[in-house]
Amino acid sequence: MAKIYLNEGPQTPLKSMKPSAKTVKSILEFSKAFSVVTYKDLQFDSFQN
Amino acid sequence: MNRTSISSEALLVKQYIDGDEKSLSILINRHQQKIFSFIFSKVYDKDLAEDIFQDTFIKVIRTLKRGKYNEEGKFLPWVMRIAHNLVIDHFRKSNRMPKFEGKGDFEILDFMTDGDLNAERQIIKSQIEADLHELIKELPQDQLEVLEMRIFKEMSFKEIAFKTDVSINTALGRMRYALINLRKIIEKHQVVLTN
């Protein structure tokens, strides 16, 4: 008879899980491209290509 | 976290705000495991956890660069709160409630210091109570009355029955329907009452 409930859980132990290098790279690239420009009392988001 | 690592953390945050991009890389490298594991422990989906991790840091970056960060020395608890809120947002959007059972290794409150913990818990508790007070107003009067006496005034069912001039069974029945209806109201408003 087929098992109805099968929960093997994650392959890697939870505590040692990390985001992929690609995700971290995209965060760092976003950070480099993102800046905030302040004009008088106003703040503007700015992205560099 | 000891005082040295807290001050080095604050220094890294300051250096990043001052334009040193490498500091962010160090901070991510230092905490990525805890943050990612926390997110994954809630959503159990690697791709989704990657998205929420990325959104968390995008929020961190925006806040830091806008000069709106004011939790010096408490970087990780702050980031964990952002991640926690984004996880809740995800479940709200997907119309599915998270399973915050409080049994796992990764609880948002584990990453906060005692001071944060008490203050945070107090705020969440007051918010839950305020939400609850609003929600129960939608209950029929007889159910609302029983629920208020039981939950907020901590009266026994015997006392409630005496006060409302009904039998204990009726008071119990009203409480039961009050809870059933409250669940429906919570689902209708998509409110997350979790601590």
Angstroms from B114 CA to nearest CA on chain A: 23
Min Cα separation A11/chain B (Å): 11
Q: Does the pLDDT value for residue B86 go beyond 90?
A: yes
Tokens of residue A19, six digits: 């985001």
Q: CA B105, CA B77: separation in Å to the nearest integer?
A: 16
- Nearest chain A residue to B56, by CA: A27
User: What is this structure's pTM?
Assistant: 0.56
Please judge whether B40 and A17 are an interchain contact, meaning their C-beta atoms are less than 8 angstroms apart: yes
B21 interfaces chain A, CB cutoff of 8 Å? yes
Distances (CA, A) of B51 to A22, B33, B77, B129, B182: 11, 15, 20, 32, 33
Residue B168 has pLDDT above 50, yes or no: yes
pLDDT value at residue B76: 92
Which residue of chain A is at minimal alpha-carbon distance from B24?
A28
Q: To the nearest whole percent, how much of chain B has pLDDT over 90?
A: 32
The predicted pLDDT at position B124 comes to 67
Q: Decide: B195 and B128 in contact? Cβ < 8 Å.
A: yes
Query: Torsion over CA of B55, B56, B59 and B65, rounded to 10 degrees?
Result: -120
Residues B47, B40: Cα–Cα separation, whole Å? 9
Q: What is the pLDDT of residue B48?
A: 94
Per-residue b or e along B66-97, where b marks 16 or more CB atoms closer than 10 Å to that residue's CB: eeebeeebbbbbbbbbbbbebbbebbeeeeeb
Backbone φ and ψ of B172, nearest 5°: -65, -40
Q: How far is CA B24 from CA A20, A46, B60, B131, in A?
A: 16, 19, 10, 37
Q: Which of A37-46, B52-61, B96-105, B112-121 has the highest mean pLDDT?
A: B52-61
Nearest-angstrom CA–CA distance, B138 and B29:
48
Q: Which two tokens stand for residue B33?
A: 């495991």
Mean pLDDT value of segment B135-164: 86
Q: Which residues of B touch A10 (CB under 8 A)?
A: 40, 44
Cβ-contact B12, B23 below 8 angstroms? yes
